[in-house]
Amino acid sequence: MLASLLGRFLDADTARIAAPILNAIIKGTLLVTFVAVSAVFFIWLERKVAARIQDRLGPTRVGGKFGWLQTIADGLKLLVKEDIIPGDADHMLFRLGPYIAFCGSFLAFIALPFGRRFVAVDMNIAVFFMLAVMSSEIFGVILAGYGSGSKWSLFGGIREAAQMVSYEVPMALCVLVPVIVAGTMRLTNIGEQQGGFFWNWYLFHDPFTFIAFWAYFTCGTASCKRAPFDLAEAESELVAGFHTEYSGLRWSFFFMAEYASMFAVSGIATLLFLGGWNTGLLPFELSDKLGIFGHLIDAGVFILKSWFLVFVMMWVRWTLPRLRIDQVMETCLKYLLPISCVLLLGVSLWQVAMPWQVLAYLRYAAAAACLLGLAWVVVKLASTRSQLPFAGVNEMDWMGQAARAQAARK
């Protein structure tokens, strides 16, 4: 289509050469724009989630309507902030680190399908490609830590290297569980196989895929350097970890890479376990009935599911305390790695030995149990009243009491 459009302005040979180049530029621009806009949204969401969970009053009060101006102001500040390179740093490695980290996260979006037709490159080995390129982010982290000329940055980079390399193994094994069920590594095919109602999602296929989702999500959270696994950025002991010496735009590239990895990890989980772009509420796909409008709705459903998983990562970060580095490694090697191996062996035997009648009806029972659990959570949320730490006083009285208590301690 693009070649025929260019053929109106160029000769046939030139149009044939220019069409794939222009196509790649358009897709790359759209993906970079989506990653950048998502990062701005996630920064805003992170502040709001932290404020609501930990009773932080600042993010709920400043920044215009709903606090969106605060994120824009911070972005402008980073753009104009002075870019400083420490005197003891390796200048070339220091400059390369953030860009390599961002490229490693961004390349995963090339094979990530947002819908049946919305994918930059529809690969037969899309799952393998995404895991491989996302793991290359660690090179940028190591270069940043080593090139900064600071022992705290170096400690943070080496910690992240050990953590990410370790968690990649159980994460890849958990990914193989739904891949064995689907019989393909092509993500578009995996999404299409989960069409129809939500009990067709691989999350409810069998007990092994259900547990694999939670194990994968835990490993994905650790691979994205999110709390309680954020030992590469442990502020209490490493100042800020591997990016301590960075400022301005280069510093922002590390956080864009982190948020991009969070969405990519969540996107893989959505496609492998949560039905991809399928709503789960209709027996057919919207793209079959509504054409291009249906494809847009499918892409919106996929983005909302992935955003919800990113929100859960933030929820966990501001709820659980940080682990020690030995506890982080122990969680991976002593628990998640054996669990993932058992899941891989179990789903392989399940596919071969279990009668089709059990396979057909077990998913209904699993989906019903999850619905009951979700209904219980909703009832508890609706029936549990939220109150201030000092019951029976309003917010201003509470703030006054807190100020008086702080003054008394001094």
Over residues 201-222, the pLDDT tens digits come to 999 999 999 999 999 999 999 9
- Domain-located, residue 394: no
Q: Are 259 and 311 in contact (CB under 8 A)?
A: no
Over range 166-192, report the average pLDDT.
94
Coil, helix or strand at residue 46: helix
Residue 71 tokens, joined: 């994120």
pLDDT band at 45 (very low <50, low <70, confident <90, very high): very high
For tokens 């990519």, name the residue.
Answer: 264
> Looking at the domain assignment, is residue 249 inside a domain?
yes
Q: What is the DSSP letter of 118?
A: -
Q: Is residue 295 part of a domain?
A: yes
Q: What average pLDDT does range 17-28 have in this prediction?
A: 82
pLDDT of 251-276, one tens digit each?
889 989 999 999 999 999 999 999 99
Band of residue 93 on the pLDDT scale cut at 50, 70, 90? very high
Q: Which of 30, 280, 171, 373 is nearest to 22 (CA)?
A: 30
Lowest mean pLDDT among 71-75, 137-141, 335-339, 401-405: 401-405
Rounded Cα distance, 295 and 280, in Å: 15
Q: Are 159 and 328 in contact (CB under 8 A)?
A: no
CA distances from 54 to 58, 60, 255, 320 (A): 11, 11, 22, 11
Cα atoms in the Cβ-side hemisphere of radius 13 Å centred on 333: 11
pLDDT greater than 80 at residue 72: yes
Q: Residue 12: pLDDT above 70?
A: no
> Element (H or E) spanning 374, and its range?
helix 356-383
**193 within domain boundaries:** yes
Q: How many structural domains is the chain composed of?
A: 1
The predicted pLDDT at position 359 comes to: 76
pLDDT higher than 80, residue 316: yes
pLDDT at 156: 86
Which amino acid, one-letter code, is at 337? L
Query: Does the pLDDT value for residue 247 go beyond 60?
Result: yes
Q: How far is CA 102 from CA 313, 351, 388, in A?
A: 20, 39, 41
Model pTM above 0.85:
yes
pLDDT band at 53 (very low <50, low <70, confident <90, very high): confident
Q: Which domain holds residue 345?
A: 81-354
- Note whether residue 48 is domain-resident: no
Q: Is 267 contained in some domain?
A: yes
Is residue 373 situated within a structural domain?
no
Least confident piece of the model among 5-19, 38-52, 378-392: 5-19
Q: 18 is written with which tokens?
A: 């220019």
Query: What percentage of the chain reaches a pLDDT higher than 70?
Result: 90
Length of the chain: 410
Secondary structure of 315-359 in the HEC alphabet? HHHCCCCCCCHHHHHHHHHHHHHHHHHHHHHHHHHHHHHCCHHHH
Mean pLDDT estimate for the chain: 86
Domain membership of residue 230 (yes or no) is yes
Residue 261 token pair: 């990895």
Q: Which residue's entry shows tokens 């006083």?
A: 393
